[in-house]
Structure 1
Amino acid sequence: MKKQITHSLDYIGVSSASLCLIHCLLFPLVTFIPIGITHNHYVDLIFALIGLFAVVKILKTNTELYIKLILSISMSVIIGCVLITIFFHYHSLLLYFGGVGMIVGHLLNFKNHKH
């Protein structure tokens, strides 16, 4: 049962991080098209909170330490970048590294529990 919950958390984490990364990569391109779409920073915050939920739950399991470190550092980078964006309106490129780190961390965790 616990293994199934961890797999679900990894699916949630990978999906959220992938959608967030796609959103962050494609949104700047959409703003050049004059269709009236503006960037809402709270969408970024929602992605970060979904990812944070999955990471906190995984940190409470008996996952390998290096996976916990990858997920923790990546989540810290993402939340820091989102807060900087909300308060200072500055888009840091570190957000992309955090997103890739989240995807890698969840995939490693999924692979680790598969064995």
Structure 2
Amino acid sequence: MKKTTMALYDILGISSATICLVHCLLFPLLTILPLGLTHNPFIDLVFASIGLFAILKIIKKSNLLVSSIFIISMAMIWISVLVDIFLEIHLDWIFFGGIGMIVGHFLNYKSHKR
């Protein structure tokens, strides 16, 4: 039963991180078009909160490598989002944090398959 629950959190995390990464990569391109779209860092905050929920459930039962990837990636994402909200400076750390989250969830999911 635990493996099923852990796999569910991994799938939630992979999905959230992938959608977040696509959002972060495509949204700047959409702002070039005259559609009236502006960047809202609170959307990034929602993605970061979903990712934080998923990794807090997983981090206790994963190995040191996966836990380290999660902690570093989530720190990069949260720092980037908070700097964007409070200082209105967009850091590229969010891209690397998103990739790290996808890799971490994928490694954790693969370790449960064994």
TM-score of Structure 1 vs Structure 2, range by shorter chain? over 0.9
Alpha-carbon distance in structure 2 between the residues aligned to 1:97 and 1:64 = 21
Point out where structure 2 has 5 or more consecutive residues left out of the alignment.
none
What is the Cα deviation at residue 60 of structure 1? 2.2
Name the TM-score, length of structure 1 as normaliser.
Answer: 0.97
Alpha-carbon distance in structure 1 between the residues aligned to 2:94 and 2:59 = 21
What is the Cα deviation at residue 95 of structure 1? 0.9
Equivalent residue number for residue 79 of structure 1: 78
Deviation digits for residues 22-53 of structure 1, max 9, x if unmatched?
A: 00000000000011111111100000000000
Equivalent residue number for residue 111 of structure 1: 110
Equivalent residue number for residue 59 of structure 1: 59
What is the Cα deviation at residue 86 of structure 1? 0.4
Equivalent residue number for residue 34 of structure 1: 34
Equivalent residue number for residue 43 of structure 2: 43
Instruction: Look up the SS of the partner of 1:74 in the other structure.
Output: helix
Deviation digits for residues 64-110 of structure 1, max 9, x if unmatched?
A: 11101001110111011000000111111111110000000000000
Q: Percent identity?
A: 53
Name the TM-score, length of structure 2 as normaliser.
Answer: 0.98
Aligned-residue Cα RMSD (Å) equals 0.6
Equivalent residue number for residue 10 of structure 2: 10
Point out where structure 1 has 5 or more consecutive residues left out of the alignment.
none
What is the Cα deviation at residue 59 of structure 1? 1.3
How many residue pairs match? The answer is 114
Runs of 4+ in 1 over 4 A off after TM superposition: none
